[in-house]
Structure 1
Amino acid sequence: MPRTPDPDADGLDTVPPPHPVFHIEQALLGALLLEPRHLDDVTGVAPASFSAAVHAALFAAIRSLPAPDPVEHATTTKWLDQVLAAARDQARGLSALYLQTLIQVCPSARHAPAYARIVEAEHSRRRLAAAAQRLMRTARDTSLPQRVAAILAEAEDLTAVVDDIAARFPPHPGSLPRTPAPSPSPSPVTRHDEEELDEERLLLATSTAHASKVNQMRWLTPGDFTLSLHAGLWQCLTALTRRGTPVDPMTVLWEARHRGLLNTGAKPKELLELLSGTAGSPEHWGERVLQRSVLMTAHHTGQRIEAYTDDPATTPYQLVTGSRRALADLSAVRARWQHATSPTPTNNPTRTRATAAPRAGPPRTTAPPTARNSR
């Protein structure tokens, strides 16, 4: 039995339509092909600003050729032929028909600067999205030897992109994005969940045994912990040490009772066992917990910024404001990380200025006067 051809079998209906900026790029190129003199009015865009490779090749060709004489350009296609020949070096499938299409779809050549501004804005959105994705990808990469250093380097690059967009589109009051911030995803930015929990347990146990170290670890906050129970126990430890109360598993248990931690299902015996198994130093395990917090914060920062860029209703001004707020959280945990890992400064004794020896006076010929006896 012969097979009936399916009109949708070629898959053309599944090809997504071009983004709106694609049509804006066509209008901009059509304006420049129609009236090349408007190229002087177009600023802030480069070949890389275009979303389509053929458009990037055409813009590069237009920019590389001297503008034609307006009278000659109105009567001949000489300059258009030169543009086509130059652009074909990068886009071999480009045809003269497509150039004519670009000219026809352009509503007004005088609006070229407005079209260019839109193209620049969408390019900024793509740049910001790519930087946020690199940040998240680095946060998930467990093969990196220095994960935090790599994360902070990507954060610097992302901040530079935001600053560049802010210079192009300065934010103004009230330019907060309306896109809901996504909740942190359970993306695996660390190795094993059980290993993370063990590190937190060891931190709590060693901090209970060496409570004097807790006050020196103010760079660690309850929000750095994976479990709310562990975060609550850390609050118990910091509260006890701040009040000068003796710290041991029993006093921590009693503080946990007052804070309602036993109402969450935690059993007293289990808490006592958790607080008794020590190994290593509190600083070591604290840095491990904080490192994971840096990775998780970086990943969530990338998620927030990506959500802003994915929302077509978000303006460039809102992208800048929202991205800076997201980066502020990463900057805060970065400052705590640098505080935790910086070497403790040594207090060198202050060098005092040497007292000059008194000058030698003339030799005495009489005995020095004696001090008066106080009455």
Structure 2
Amino acid sequence: MNPLLQAERAVLGGVLLDPGQLDRLSWLTPDDFYRPAHRALFAAMRKLQADQHPAFAADGWEVPLTWVTDTVAEAGRNIRGLTTSYAHTLIAACPRPGNAPVYGRMVLEGAIHRTVTQHTIRLHQAARADALQGEVEGALHQADVLADVLADLARRWGTEPRPTASATTPPPVPTPGPAGARAPIGADQVADEEFLLCVLVNQPGAVDEVVDWLRPADFANHGHGQLYRCLGALHHRGEPIDQLTALWEAQRRGLLTDGTLTSERLQQICGGLGAGSAEYLGERVMRSSIARTAAISARAIGELADNQSLAPGRLINHALHALGPLDEVRARWQSLTAPPIPEPAPDPPARTKRADAALARSQPRPPTLFSPAFPASTWTPTARPPLRSHS
């Protein structure tokens, strides 16, 4: 029998024999069980525990006989076909009730592999949908969900999530062959890449629009990426970029010798007019790169999850490492599409002493007694008291 199913039967049988073991399984949830009947039974045990079933007040091995029948009856509210005889089969499958937490760890380990597989499938489906629609939001959202799930699984397993490279699993981005593409790509992607390279070669200064955020790995076709690397090298050295200098740089890098490019192929790519926006075409190439990288990362993580001999802690850390290339592409995409930060308003100029003096002179003075507000005819002097004599 499958060890995972045997562990599920053992942990349920252990709790049926000793309901107190449920307190030692607080970290285990019904969704961690693979079989629906097992999920329903474990959820029923949790429900009866919350309702303070008499079995949890029993001392030692004095478990009421109604514990088994009540558990089966409660589970039968959510699933059909459960019988008391099946519950006794689970009891017989438990080697030792005191080892229920160990059996529960086995169940949780299987649940971690299944959960990673499920979210990996969703990431791959979102990446394929984005590739067809020319979008990136679906793949990036599913990648965030997968990263959050991995962090939560690491917490439940009791480990610290750390991206760690796997020594046995190939890197997420496969190494292309000497004359091939990284993966089968559509005609639209090929056209976008060729159109962008033609613009970069024939428009002076067009490389400046994309060189800060577009990388050779963003090109689906290996030859296109290597040609873009040649253009980047010419731009870095401050040399002119045209068809001849691009051909010369490709020859210096051995691309014409190993079959990555040919002079005819380079002439075909760069021989057009090169009319278009390099930034717009670069964004299209990068959108395809995000969807493609997400799909490759999903396949790599799926292979890790299928390896049942891989411990949950290592699986989580290797899966986080497999998401690294997608995080790198996402960071460049966000730097490209992020709205510009508004410049802060300039501070008001500080007032000088001359300005303060001018403002002081412009302020109205208080009215005097002989001002028009107080005519002289209405003013009468106040009589002073007589001076005292000092004699």
**TM > 0.5 fold call:** yes
Corresponding residue of 1:289: 285
- Tell me if 1:308 matches 2:337: no
In structure 2, the partner of 1:151 is 139
User: Does the CA-based 8 Å contact 1:208-1:275 persist in structure 2?
Assistant: yes
Structure 1, unpaired ranges of 5+: 1-17, 364-375
350-359 or 312-321, larger mean C-alpha shift: 350-359
- Specify whether residues 344 and 281 from structure 1 end up closer, same or farther in structure 2 by C-alpha distance, changes over 3 A only: farther
Within-5 A mapping of 1:271-282: 271-277=266-272, 278-282=274-278
Alignment of 1:215 with 2:198, yes or no, is no
In the superposition, the TM-score normalised over structure 1's length comes to: 0.83
Matched, 1:29 2:12: yes
Please state how far the C-alpha of 1:221 moved relative to its aligned partner: 1.1
Q: 1:108 to 1:270 in 2, by over 3 A?
A: closer
- Call closer, same or farther: CA 1:163–1:72 in 2, change over 3 Å: closer
1:43–1:116: 8 Å Cα contact kept in structure 2?
no
Separation of aligned partners in 2, 1:322 and 1:122? 17
Deviation at 1:20, TM superposition (A): 1.7
The letter of the residue matching 1:148 is: V
Match runs of 1:30-179 below 5 Å: 30-65=13-48, 66-68=53-55, 69-70=57-58, 74=62, 76-141=64-129, 147-169=135-157, 170-171=159-160, 177=166, 179=168
Match for 1:358: what amino acid? D
**Following TM superposition, by how much is the alpha carbon of 1:98 offset from its aligned partner in structure 2, in angstroms?**
0.8
User: What is residue 243 of structure 1 aligned with on the other side?
Assistant: 237
Deviation at 1:193, TM superposition (A): 2.2
Match of 1:201 in 2: 194
Q: Which moved more, 1:126-135 or 1:337-346?
A: 337-346
Q: 1:36 to 1:67 in 2, by over 3 A?
A: farther
Q: What is the count of residue pairs matched by the alignment?
A: 343
The alpha carbon displacement at 1:279 in A equals 3.2
Any unmatched runs of 5+ in structure 2? Answer: 177-181, 363-391
Structure 1 pair 289/90, CA: closer, same or farther in 2 (3 Å)?
Answer: same
Residue 169 of structure 2 is aligned to residue 180 of structure 1: yes
Q: Could you list the per-position Cα deviations for residues 269-300 of structure 1 after superposition, in whole angstroms to 9, with x for gaps in the alignment?
A: 44234213213211111111111111111011
The one-letter amino acid paired with 2:282 is G
Aligned residue identity for 2:348: R
Distance 1:269 1:290, change over 3 A: same
**Partner amino acid for 1:279?**
A
Superimposed CA distance per residue, residues 68-119 of structure 1 (whole angstroms, 9 cap, x where no aligned partner): 1436974752222111111111222111111111111111111111111221
Larger Rg computed on CA atoms: 2
Shift of 1:67: 4.7
Residue 351, structure 1, aligned to residue 346, structure 2: yes
| Cα distance in 2 for residues equivalent to 1:76 and 1:349 | 73
2:246 matched to which residue of 1? Answer: 252
> Which of 270-279 and 95-104 deviates more?
270-279
Cα gap change, 1:140 to 1:246, in 2 (>3 Å): same
Counterparts in 2 of 1:295 and 1:62: CA distance versus 1, 3 Å = same
8 Å CA contact 2:134–2:284 kept in 1: the answer is: no
Q: Which deviates more, 353-362 or 305-314?
A: 353-362
**In 2, Cα distance between the equivalents of 1:89 and 1:135?**
34
Aligned CA distance change for structure 1 residues 19 and 288 (closer, same or farther; 3 Å): farther
- Alpha-carbon offset, residue 196 of structure 1: 1.5
Matched with 1:325 is 321
Distance in 2, matches of 1:21 and 1:354, equals: 74
